[in-house]
Each structure stands twice: as structure tokens, then as C-alpha cells.
Amino acid sequence: MVRDAERSARRRKLAVLVVPMIAFAVAANLATAFAPTLLVREPVWLITLSSRLRWLVLVSPRLDPFTFFGIPLLRLLAVAVVYYVFGRRYGNRAVQWLESKIGGGSQPILWIERMFHRARYVVVFLLPAGAFVSLLAGADDMPPKRYFATTTLGLIARLVVVRLVAGAFTHAILQVTDWVAGNQIWLTGLSMASVLAIALWSRRSGRGEIESVEEIAEELGEA
């Protein structure tokens, strides 16, 4: 009975982190699948679901500064919190688990991990709120106040740069948006098909897919 109670408690603690991870992944996939339609009709929802650089650049000319800076900042900080806590709680097991999902042997991942251990504050500033970097920071016991201060500064700097770049190329960006508006039906269909194809490939390869709480618990050695 005691072991069952302890196991249930560990599952609940893990679920508090895994459920948001799944929600972030689903939201990002929805944003990619419906990006052409969202870009034209609901740009705010697009960057709420996913705050990737390409979406930020494309929606910038159509959003006021408060919306443009506020929504991505809140969303990306939420991602940073979840993965930082996950890394801090499970340490190297969490790092190895995420590496297995995104391809731990790939050159970008190896480079990020190598550079993080050399200059972690620089990496956090240049790659703020990234899932892998946030997890590394937590696993490495990076002080929370310093980590989130550096991440926040990095995010603000990134958004400022994006806003300036988008402002310099507003005419070209609006032309792209107008073209997407005229072709959004088939572009949305293509986007949906691409997301589905990637999801099927990820399932077969065992990468990029966040499973259930029970499966992740087993992979982390929490069974």
C-alpha cells in the first residue's frame, strides 16, 4: 500500500509537467497545420499556439506592440518554466529522455550541449526558452532567478530584433501575407498533410513524440 501511494504521488508530480508538455506540442502542431488560415484570419491565435520566429515575423506588421511582445513572452516563459522544472527534478534522466525524442546524436544537439557547459548564460540568452536549453539549465541546477532573468532578457532582445527586421521589410511581408490569403485553402491542406506525415514518421522512428505519463515514467525509471 505504501509503495502504491508513493508511486501514485510520483505519477501526479510527473503529470503536472507532462500534461503541459503535451499541450505545447499539440498547440505547435495545430499552428503549423492551420498556419496559412491563421496567418490571414487569426494572427493572434497563431502566435499564441506557436511563437516560432517565422510566425512572429509574418504577423508583426499586423499587431500592436503590446500584443506582439506580450503573447510570445508569456507563452515562451511558460515553456521555459515547465522544462526547467522537469530538468531540475529528474536531472540527467530528463536530458537523456529528451535527447531520445529529438535525436541526441545530431550535430545541433551536441553543439548546444557542449556550448552550454562552456558558457551556459550565453547559450540561455541566445536560445531563450528553448525546451532543450531550459531542461539543461534545470538539470545543471542553474539558479532559478539567474536563469529566468537571462531567459527573459534573451526573449525581449529576440522580439525587439524581430520587430525591427519586420518593420524594415513590412512591404515584402504584407505581400507574402496577401499571397497566402489568395491561396490559403490549398496551402492549409498542404500544411495539414505535412504535419500528419511528420507525425507518422515520428511515431515509427520513436522520436518527437511525447507519450503518456505511464510510458514516460517507465523511460525515466520511475516505475
Number of domains observed in the structure of the chain: 1
- Report the phi/psi class of residue 168: left, alpha or beta, with left for phi > 0 and alpha for psi in -120 to 50: alpha
Residues 160, 145: Cα–Cα separation, whole Å:
22
Residues in the chain where the model's pLDDT stays below 70:
1-5, 103-105, 205-212, 221-223
Per-residue model confidence (pLDDT) at position 169 = 97
8-state DSSP, 129: T
Residue 82's nearest CA partner among 38, 36, 22 is 22
Segment (H or E) for 34: none
Per-residue model confidence (pLDDT) at position 207 = 60
Per-residue model confidence (pLDDT) at position 110 = 84
Residues 107, 87: Cα–Cα separation, whole Å:
21
Do residues 38 and 45 touch, judged by C-beta distance below 8 A?
Answer: yes
Per-residue model confidence (pLDDT) at position 190 = 96
Per-residue model confidence (pLDDT) at position 222 = 57
Domain that holds residue 12: 2-219
User: Would you call 70 helix, strand, or coil by DSSP?
Assistant: helix
Per-residue model confidence (pLDDT) at position 100 = 80
Residues 145, 47: Cα–Cα separation, whole Å:
26
